[in-house]
Chains A and B, each alone.
Chain A
Amino acid sequence: DGGITQSPKYLFRKEGQNVTLSCEQNLNHDAMYWYRQDPGQGLRLIYYSQIVNDFQKGDIAEGYSVSREKKESFPLTVTSAQKNPTAFYLCASEQGMAGNTIYFGEGSWLTVV
């Protein structure tokens, strides 16, 4: 089945460590997104990419980095510079920026211990 796969589902990080969240899609979508969701709150955009080898900062990019070397993959690295990284992270994709439906992965929980 086509869809978006995020891994791992649960991840624990020690303070000062970088961690990378994986996001893979087989929908042949051009656009991909990373959102952060804190308990009881809405979605905040971290980074997005419209095409391979290109990405733009969203509203809360500080302390995060991404790459888009392949169309199907858009990994997110949470760096030690992110002061409050504990959250639920959602990856999503869309046919293009002119598309009209966003498809989401199942999400990844990151907890700092």
Chain B
Amino acid sequence: AQSVTQLDSQVPVFEEAPVELRCNYSSSVSVYLFWYVQYPNQGLQLLLKYLSGSTLVKGINGFEAEFNKSQTSFHLRKPSVHISDTAEYFCAVKATNAGKSTFGDGTTLTVKP
């Protein structure tokens, strides 16, 4: 079984500032890792994913995340945020040998002008 902990429920930040949304996971087997974004009243859409290879993963909208196996973390970063980045962000984990994805509780990113 896997579990995901998103360490911050809310992250307020000013426009053009950098941001990091933190995600830790627990699993006894190898995993895939994901970040999804949810805009108000919509479904989730994939931002980026780590399957294998380079631990630095680049996604859409200028976001990137780094897989750290020793710290079991997959933190999401963006060097300069925009108002339009205001949304809910979900970290998810899935065993590589198939199975259901497990989602974190989400982090609300609010970008202020």
Residues of A in contact with B (beta carbons under 8 Å apart): 4, 33, 40-43, 45, 48, 58, 90, 92, 96-98, 100-102, 104-107, 109
Contacts and interface: CB of A to CB of B under 8 A. Distances in A.
B51 interface: yes
Given A48-B100, A101-B49, A42 B106 contact: yes
Interface in B23-47: 32, 34, 36, 41-46
Most chain B CB inside 10 Å of its own CB: which residue of A48, A100, A107: A100
Contacts of A101: 34, 46, 49
Contact of B98 (A43, A92, A98): A98
Contacts of B103: 42-43
Contact of B106 (A41, A107, A109): A41
A96 B100 CA distance: 10
Interface in B56-95: 90, 92, 94
Contacts of B41: 107, 109
The list of the 4 closest CB pairs from A to B, nearest first, reads A104-B43, A42-B105, A98-B98, A97-B98
A7 to B, nearest CB: 13
B98 A102 contact: no
A101 B44 CA distance: 11
A102 B101 contact: yes
A31 B92 CA distance: 17
A58 B92 CA distance: 16
A105 B43 contact: yes
A33 B86 CA distance: 26
B113 interface: no
Contacts of A45: 100
Nearest to B92: A102
13 contacts: A41-B106, A43-B103, A48-B100, A97-B98, A97-B99, A97-B100, A98-B98, A100-B49, A100-B94, A101-B46, A102-B34, A104-B36, A104-B43
Contacts of B101: 102
A107 B43 contact: yes
A107 B38 CA distance: 11
